[in-house]
Amino acid sequence: MRKYHFLYMGLGIAMLCAGVLASLALGSRMIPLQEVVRTLFGDGGDGLATAVVLERIPRTVFGILAGASLGVSGALMQAITRNPIADPSILGINTGAALFVVFGMSFLQMSTLQSYIWMALLGAFVTAIFVYSVGSIGAGGMTPIKLALAGAATSAALSSIVSALLLPRVEVMNAFRFWQVGSIGGATWSAVTTVLPFLFVGLFIALIISPQLDLMSLGEELAKGLGVHPGIVRVLGTLSAVTLCGAVTAVAGPIGFVGLMIPHVLKILFGPQLKWVVPMSMVYGGAILLFADVIGRMLGSPSELESGIVTAFLGAPVLIYVAARAKGGLSRHGV
């Protein structure tokens, strides 16, 4: 089996490289590949092609980071909640982050990216805790259906509050629309460097705790016997998952379904072990988001279709597939 794992790993890395090249080369202005490579190695000259490629670098870098973070965030959430459909967008976390950002813009006169990020993180945490607790109330604890419905309902409720806050405030609406698009296209170097620490910490924690999470899936008693502290691992995992998706949302707005589809595809390729799935989520997540972004640029040309829309269109069938494959009632551990 190991042999195949390395094969799939190579495939993922190849896809990521292809995604990077496509993201730099394709768009409303096509740049030939040799130009792209020449620019990357620093001898592109001062032509238009070079300028375009340089312009596309920040969004490409952010695309890799954002895709990696969203993929890992989804994998962690699915493992911790033991729920096959946990995803930042389904749990309404993106909308929560959006609501807090709008609140900050409307009432606290916030206008810097730094402050948006903190608001988005706060919103992400509050919403995550809220949705999770609503979804766990009652007999049988948390089930996929309860969680999904709690997320969908919360998300619907929060987005109408967002529109009510926005409608009377034209200037906030303009600022927010710019933010709300769910696209990696608006990423700048300063945005990337601002969120970078959050993403690194989140990804680092995820890598460290994934072997422990694997042990916990054997049963909590057994994991305790092997020296794991399930409580600590769960708290760290939640922190990491929410930080990752909150920070990405702060820059790019809501990008859904990456976190849902990546772990499911990877579990088919690599089996259920998180020590493979988590690192590979970074590679494949980055690749998918880059491709979604490129597809959006091609479809929407001369303007562009936001990457979040493309990922939703690609990812929603995975949700349908997971749900349709379930036998009878979706049980707590099932599907």
Q: Which residues form the interface with another protein (CB under 8 A)?
A: 85, 89-90, 134-140, 143-146, 148-150, 152-154, 156-161, 163-164, 167-168, 256-257, 299-300, 303, 305-306, 309-310, 312-313, 315-317, 319-320, 322-330
Contact call for residues 57 and 39 (beta carbons, < 8 A):
no
Helix segments in 138-169, DSSP class H: 144-166
User: Directed axis angle between helix 48-80 and helix 33-40, to 10°?
Assistant: 80
For another protein, the closer of residues 195 and 330 by Cβ is 330
CB of 222 to another protein, least distance (A): 29
Among 233, 241, 235, 203, residue whose Cα is nearest residue 88: 241
DSSP 172-212: HHHHHHHHHT--STT--HHHHHHHHHHHHHHHHHHHHHHHH
CB of 210 to another protein, least distance (A): 27
Contact call for residues 85 and 260 (beta carbons, < 8 A):
yes
For another protein, the closer of residues 113 and 152 by Cβ is 152
For another protein, the closer of residues 181 and 191 by Cβ is 181
CB of 135 to another protein, least distance (A): 7
For another protein, the closer of residues 85 and 223 by Cβ is 85
CB of 333 to another protein, least distance (A): 15
Alpha-carbon distance 257 to 150, whole Å?
Answer: 17
CB of 259 to another protein, least distance (A): 13
Contact call for residues 192 and 65 (beta carbons, < 8 A):
yes
Which tokens sit at 73? 């965030």
For another protein, the closer of residues 202 and 308 by Cβ is 308
Among 266, 258, 264, residue whose Cα is nearest residue 309: 258
Question: Could you tell me how far CA 255 lies from the centroid of its own chain?
Answer: 6
For another protein, the closer of residues 253 and 279 by Cβ is 253
232-249 core/surface letters (b: 16 or more CB in 10 A; e: else): ebbebbbebbbbbbbbbb
CB of 226 to another protein, least distance (A): 34
For another protein, the closer of residues 162 and 192 by Cβ is 162
CB of 197 to another protein, least distance (A): 31
CB of 48 to another protein, least distance (A): 26
Matching residue, tokens 């691992």: 233
Alpha-carbon distance 298 to 292, whole Å?
Answer: 10
For another protein, the closer of residues 237 and 259 by Cβ is 259
CB of 45 to another protein, least distance (A): 34
For another protein, the closer of residues 214 and 304 by Cβ is 304
69: buried, middle or exposed (CB in 10 Å: 19+, 13-18, 0-12)? buried
Alpha-carbon distance 63 to 292, whole Å?
Answer: 10
